[in-house]
Amino acid sequence: MLLLFENTQKTTKPPDQTALVGALNAQLTHHGSTDVLRAAIETIPDVALVSSFGAESVVLLHLAAMVKRDIPVIFIDTKMLFTETLIYQQDVAERLRLKNVTVIRANDIATDDPDGTLHRHDTDACCALRKTAPLQAALKPHAGWITGRKRYQSGQRAHLEFFEAEAETGRIKVNPLARWAPQDVAEYMAENRLPRHPLVAQGYASIGCAPCTSPVAVGEDPRAGRWRDTDKDECGIHFVNGKMVRTGANT
């Protein structure tokens, strides 16, 4: 199966990928994650995989390595990550023999957050500076990107489909693990003997920047430790112009 991605050259308005996304979701509705990855690679020019190398990231990275080992992988170093995450990123990339990992960082941190305290009074601005802006810049050459989001992770992700259209950018977002359950993740990691992020053993179920991440208690939502005691549960990389990217039924 090979569908054509609309040509974005010499246009100022991003292409509307709603029809293509609808067709892909319909064709792959009963397929597994590997088929979704293959379809994304065959259909979307220069598709990239964005990974936090967090608690469950190794599953998607392993699947992608089996399909296309040199797929572009983008890792955002916010300069506030746990040391364990930085070490884990290098370890996983080496073990999976990933051939095309790019580490990106914001260029203007010294100017916009010189003392590293922006997260204390404006977490949205901090995420925009350290994550969203550098990622959007890194994604410009790519017609789509692959994420590890899953429906069970939070309310805003409860209705994820395999493919989503970003109207504001013209890119297609791919969520191969959208329908996986926590048990699926655990079993896959065990069966394939994949290395776990060292902080998982300390109760961290979802791992982001150190100042804004805490362990979760048994029975808590996996993302309860992100921006604890606030109404924030997304860093912003899945938003465009401050709004969650949604198209049609892909909510």
Active site residues: 235
Consecutive H or E run containing 20: helix 18-27
Residues 236, 243: Cα–Cα separation, whole Å: 8
Residues 127, 61: Cα–Cα separation, whole Å: 23
Q: 3-class SS at 67?
A: helix
3-state secondary structure 73-127: EEEECCCCECHHHHHHHHHHHHHCCCCCEEEECCCCHHHHCCCCCHHHHCHHHHH
- Render 165-231 in DSSP notation, one character per residue: E-TTT--EEE-TTTT--HHHHHHHHHHTTPPPPGGGGGT-SS--BGGGB----TTS-TTTTBSTTSS
Instruction: Give backbone dihedrals phi and psi of 186, rounded to 5 degrees, phi first.
Output: -60, -45
DSSP secondary structure code for residue 240 in this structure: E
Provide Rg for the chain, Cα atoms. Answer: 18
